[in-house]
């Protein structure tokens, strides 16, 4: 983190919802003094309830916290229905393809589209309240129709990122016992068609008993395999459905969606969110962190397959009645000016992306933003990984022209929306720091015993009070939920939520996130568990032992570094073959986002006498750092030097 402080832009602050730090502190105080009252007021004001709630927060089964009990709502009414009176002809979605084709969908049109899809799910596929539906879709408006159609009838959507492999998709279909998969023939990327439907076919070829039907949206119109009785083409049947559909009244705590994410152990876990708390958060953070106004155009570049896409492409902007941009394609097609060109053309007001993308665009085209009129921009956001001060400054100066607020937002799939972030009209920012927790969020940096760590020292980032949009459980595995999030840190004898991240608080209270403290690697903002990758590599017939660690990467944040002990020494030629084979395995089981950046074949791994791999040493070696820890307790201390010799480069 740098020590420079940037005050908010005065002209912006004047118009902002939260105009200065006094107002921010006043809200924090209100929440401190009457915690449930703070959320009660907000939930009553912001949510359009079918039936009001009677209990704000039920802690009786903590950490299975329940919010807004007794309330009934449907989030699609919050996102669509209630807007029809005032903004039915306003653009809800502006979609653009790499080729520059555009689709503009108004709130009324979106409402009808969602209703038709909801009816299709109900009538044709028998999807009912509580059923799980897997979405494996590209960045097309139909992905939004499908998510909201599920929400409308009370089905639980589980969106699987289109870059995941058939195996990863199958795991998720099976874990959720999904009834239906909604996919597309394929889409376009870097100007060329690619396919999704064959991946679904492969996923369904083994197991997946629960899933009897597949709905296919035609997008690239490439030929696909069609399984009669199982497969249905959306474009051919959708117009037979009525555009009217009553929303299912849902209890506040009924699940809205599952989203699978990696943890430090085992298979990815289905993070479960519920409707009321989540939608409240999506709206609260859009208002406070992006300060979105009626005429604004909001663009989040994430994929809908990640939580950022859920909250800040779909639910947040639509709950606000804003216009959300969806871009199907990559940032560098046809050239590195693509995003800046789109910001200029659509007069984007808030832009939200990942540090990886900022670093890449900085490197590839440092002067590119200046070639475009970016004067519409007001707030620039980042998410997904720590942002280094260099990238932060370039974002502020080259993209924001020194005028826009930079909001470095820290949060997770599990938190549903922003937790620690500047407020654009109020918070003086320090490059590299996510600054302060939102009003109502109690973020603390603790040691293992639940004590606050001293200023300037690294500790465990915990959220010590429940909040409305928090993860409710891990689908089908409440024990794992308790252990993974409420198992490590206790404060005053009570388990508190531990994020898995480390953080430092400075003397002014600014929080800087230092990255994961567990065995999770963050590659370009994608969370990957080392255990998950190791289990896959261990399947290779010639792998005796494997350990995977993260290594800093100038663009991606972290890269994947694998140490491998092979069974048969076959010489250099065989090692080259193995590198290819190991990467093939990874692509097959997870997808190309998890490809290995470096592999070192080593004679053995550093282990304690009890046989535990000492990853800290492997991390230091991967970073080319001096080993400062005591290695005398290792089973074979000489192995460290041997590995170091093999690892230089
Ligand atoms: C990391 C993405 C530093 C962090 C919304 C967290 C960040 C993980 C930031 C969650 C940030 C996210 N600064 N690190 N502003 N935002 N992270 O679940 O390690 O895909 O635990 O959610 O990303 O990743 P996830």
Tell whether 126 is covered by a domain: yes
CA of 219 to the centre of ligand 1 (A): 32
Residue at a domain's end among 251, 284, 314: 251
Q: Is the CB of 303 under 6 A from ligand 1?
A: no
Pocket test for ligand 1, best of 269, 512, 513, 593 (most atoms within 8 A of CB): 513
Q: Is the CB of 501 under 6 A from ligand 1?
A: yes
The residue whose CA has the least distance to atom 11 of ligand 1 is: 410
Q: What is the C-alpha separation between 605 and 548, in angstroms, rounded? A: 11
The residue whose CA has the least distance to atom 12 of ligand 1 is: 384
Q: What is the C-alpha separation between 602 and 647, in angstroms, rounded? A: 9
Helices (H) and strands (E) in the chain, counts: 21, 32
Q: What is the C-alpha separation between 418 and 438, in angstroms, rounded? A: 8
Q: Is the CB of 307 under 6 A from ligand 1?
A: yes
The pLDDT value recorded for residue 267 is 86
Sorted by sequence, the CB contacts under 8 Å of residue 94 that are 6+ apart come out as: 102, 103, 104, 297, 323, 324, 325, 326, 346
* Range 436-464 burial, b when 16+ CB lie within 10 A, else e: bbbbbbbbbbbeeebeebeeeeebbbbbb
The residue whose CA has the least distance to atom 24 of ligand 1 is: 412
Tell whether 278 is covered by a domain: no
Q: What is the C-alpha separation between 261 and 527, in angstroms, rounded? A: 7
Q: Are 284 and 312 in contact (CB under 8 A)?
A: no
CA of 499 to the centre of ligand 1 (A): 10
According to DSSP, the β-strands at 297-300 and 490-491 are unpaired
Given a cut of 70, the residues of the chain with pLDDT beneath it are: 1-2, 569-573, 648-649
Q: 59's torsion region: left (phi>0), alpha (psi -120 to 50) or beta?
A: alpha
The pLDDT value recorded for residue 263 is 84
Pocket test for ligand 1, best of 388, 485, 501 (most atoms within 8 A of CB): 501
Q: Tokens at residue 535, please? A: 């289990």
Q: What is the C-alpha separation between 596 and 590, in angstroms, rounded? A: 12
What are the backbone angles phi and psi of residue 325, rounded to the nearest 5°?
-95, 135
Q: Looking at residue 437, what DSSP letter applies?
A: B
DSSP string, 174-205: HHHT-SEEEEESEEEETTEEEESHHHHHHHHT
Q: Is the CB of 392 under 6 A from ligand 1?
A: no
Q: What is the C-alpha separation between 125 and 192, in angstroms, rounded? A: 32
Pocket test for ligand 1, best of 354, 525, 528, 594 (most atoms within 8 A of CB): 525
Strand partners of residue 491: 494
CA of 321 to the centre of ligand 1 (A): 26
Tell whether 8 is covered by a domain: no
Tell whether 184 is covered by a domain: yes
Ligand 1 atom with the shortest distance to the CA of 308: 5
Tell whether 501 is covered by a domain: no
Sorted by sequence, the CB contacts under 8 Å of residue 104 that are 6+ apart come out as: 91, 93, 94, 95
> Which uninterrupted H or E stretch holds 118?
helix 107-123
Sorted by sequence, the CB contacts under 8 Å of residue 454 that are 6+ apart come out as: none
CA of 53 to the centre of ligand 1 (A): 32
- Helix 530-537, helix 572-589: angle, nearest 10: 120
The residue whose CA has the least distance to atom 25 of ligand 1 is: 412
Tell whether 561 is covered by a domain: yes
Residue at a domain's end among 198, 229, 251: 251
Q: What is the C-alpha separation between 452 and 431, in angstroms, rounded? A: 24
Q: Tokens at residue 6, please? A: 């940037």
Range of the structural domain that residue 161 is part of:
107-251
CA of 384 to the centre of ligand 1 (A): 4
**Number of independent structural domains in the chain:** 2
Q: Tokens at residue 219, please? A: 């997008």
The pLDDT value recorded for residue 577 is 86
Q: Are 525 and 383 in contact (CB under 8 A)?
A: yes
CA 576 to chain centre: 34
Q: Is the CB of 433 under 6 A from ligand 1?
A: no
Tell whether 216 is covered by a domain: yes
Positive or negative: CA dihedral 68, 73, 78, 79: positive
pLDDT in tens, 61-106: 999 999 999 999 999 999 999 999 999 999 999 999 999 999 999 9
> At 325, is the secondary structure helix, strand, or coil?
strand
Q: Are 162 and 305 in contact (CB under 8 A)?
A: yes
CA of 467 to the centre of ligand 1 (A): 18
| Cβ count within 10 A of residue 209 | 9
Q: What is the C-alpha separation between 412 and 106, in angstroms, rounded? A: 30
The CATH number of the domain holding residue 570 is 3.30.300.30
Q: For residue 109, what are the CA distances in angstroms to 102, 105, 114?
A: 15, 6, 9
The CATH number of the domain holding residue 229 is 3.40.50.980
Q: For residue 443, what are the CA distances in angstroms to 3, 211, 309, 467, 544?
A: 22, 41, 24, 11, 42
SS3 content of the chain, % helix, strand, coil (to 5): 35, 25, 40
| Cβ count within 10 A of residue 622 | 24
Q: What is the C-alpha separation between 464 and 444, in angstroms, rounded? A: 7
CA 466 to chain centre: 20
Residue at a domain's end among 225, 251, 277: 251
Q: Is the CB of 262 under 6 A from ligand 1?
A: no
Q: What is the C-alpha separation between 405 and 378, in angstroms, rounded? A: 7
Q: Is the CB of 383 under 6 A from ligand 1?
A: yes
Nearest CA among 6, 2, 7 for reference residue 389:
2
Q: Are 502 and 516 in contact (CB under 8 A)?
A: yes
Q: Are 365 and 373 in contact (CB under 8 A)?
A: no
Positive or negative: CA dihedral 267, 273, 279, 281: negative
The residue whose CA has the least distance to atom 8 of ligand 1 is: 412
The residue whose CA has the least distance to atom 5 of ligand 1 is: 412
Q: Are 115 and 245 in contact (CB under 8 A)?
A: yes
Q: Tokens at residue 461, please? A: 């980032």
- Helix 166-176, helix 197-204: angle, nearest 10: 60
According to DSSP, the β-strands at 473-474 and 269-274 are antiparallel
The pLDDT value recorded for residue 101 is 97
Q: Are 480 and 525 in contact (CB under 8 A)?
A: no
Q: Tokens at residue 346, please? A: 């659509």
Q: What is the C-alpha separation between 308 and 263, in angstroms, rounded? A: 18
Pocket test for ligand 1, best of 305, 311, 356, 527 (most atoms within 8 A of CB): 527
Sorted by sequence, the CB contacts under 8 Å of residue 151 that are 6+ apart come out as: 74, 75, 76, 157, 256, 257, 275
Tell whether 367 is covered by a domain: no
Pocket test for ligand 1, best of 309, 385, 429, 438 (most atoms within 8 A of CB): 385
The pLDDT value recorded for residue 265 is 79
């Amino acid at each position: 983190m740098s020590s420079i402080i940037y005050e908010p832009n005065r002209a912006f602050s004047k118009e902002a919802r939260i105009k200065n730090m006094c107002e921010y502190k006043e809200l924090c105080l209100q929440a401190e003094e009457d915690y449930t009252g703070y959320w009660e007021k907000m939930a009553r004001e912001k949510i359009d309830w079918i039936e009001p709630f009677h209990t704000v927060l039920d802690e009786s089964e903590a950490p299975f916290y329940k919010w807004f009990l007794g309330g009934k709502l449907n989030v699609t009414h919050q996102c669509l229905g209630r807007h029809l009176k005032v903004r039915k002809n306003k653009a809800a979605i502006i979609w653009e393809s790499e080729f520059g084709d555009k689709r503009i969908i108004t709130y009324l049109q979106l409402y009808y589209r969602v209703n038709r899809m909801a009816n299709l799910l109900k009538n044709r596929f028998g999807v009912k309240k509580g059923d799980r539906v897997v979405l494996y879709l590209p960045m097309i408006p139909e992905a939004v129709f499908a998510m909201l159609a599920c929400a409308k009838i009370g089905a639980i959507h589980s969106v699987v990122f289109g870059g995941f492999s058939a195996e990863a998709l199958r795991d998720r279909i099976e874990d959720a016992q999904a009834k239906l998969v909604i996919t597309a023939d394929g889409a376009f990327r870097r100007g060329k068609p690619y396919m999704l439907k064959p991946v679904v076919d492969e996923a369904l070829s083994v197991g997946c008993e629960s899933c009897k039907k597949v709905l296919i949206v035609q997008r690239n119109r490439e030929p696909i395999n069609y399984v009669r009785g199982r497969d249905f083409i959306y474009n051919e049947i959708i117009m037979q459905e009525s555009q009217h559909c009553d929303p299912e009244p849902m209890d506040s705590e009924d699940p809205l969606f599952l989203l699978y994410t990696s943890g430090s152990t085992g298979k990815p876990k289905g993070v479960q969110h519920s409707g009321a708390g989540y939608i409240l958060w999506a709206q609260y953070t859009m208002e406070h962190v992006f300060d979105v106004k009626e005429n604004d155009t909001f663009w989040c570049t994430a994929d809908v397959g990640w939580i950022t896409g859920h909250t800040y492409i779909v639910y947040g902007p639509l709950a606000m009645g804003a216009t959300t941009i969806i871009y199907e394609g990559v940032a560098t097609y046809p050239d590195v000016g693509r995003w800046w060109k789109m910001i200029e053309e659509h007069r984007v007001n808030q832009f939200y992306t990942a540090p990886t993308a900022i670093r890449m665009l900085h490197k590839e085209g440092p002067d590119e933003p200046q070639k475009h009129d970016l004067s519409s921009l007001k707030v620039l956001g980042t998410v997904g990984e720590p942002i280094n001060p260099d990238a932060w400054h370039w974002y502020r100066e080259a993209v924001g022209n020194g005028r826009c607020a930079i909001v470095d937002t820290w949060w997770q799939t599990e938190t549903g929306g922003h937790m620690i972030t500047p407020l654009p009209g109020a918070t003086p920012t320090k490059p590299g720091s996510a600054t302060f927790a939102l009003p109502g969020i109690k973020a603390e940096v603790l040691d293992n015993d639940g004590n606050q760590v001293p200023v300037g020292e690294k500790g465990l980032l915990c959220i010590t009070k429940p909040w409305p949009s928090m993860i409710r459980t891990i689908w089908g595995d409440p024990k794992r939920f308790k252990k993974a999030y409420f198992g490590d840190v206790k404060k005053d004898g009570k388990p508190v939520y531990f994020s898995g991240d480390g953080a430092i608080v400075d003397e002014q209270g600014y929080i800087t996130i230092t990255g994961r403290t567990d065995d999770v690697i963050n590659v370009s903002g994608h969370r990957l568990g080392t255990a998950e990758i190791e289990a896959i590599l261990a399947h290779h017939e010639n792998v005796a032992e494997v350990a995977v660690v993260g290594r800093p990467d100038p663009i991606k944040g972290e890269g994947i570094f694998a140490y491998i002990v092979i069974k048969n020494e076959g010489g250099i030629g065989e090692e080259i073959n193995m590198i290819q084979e190991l990467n093939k395995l990874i692509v097959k089981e997870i997808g190309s986002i998890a490809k290995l950046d470096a592999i070192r074949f080593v004679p053995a791994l550093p282990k304690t006498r009890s046989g535990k791999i000492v990853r800290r040493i492997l991390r230091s070696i991967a970073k080319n750092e001096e080993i400062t820890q005591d290695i005398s307790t290792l089973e074979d201390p000489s192995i460290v030097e041997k590995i170091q010799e093999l690892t230089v480069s």
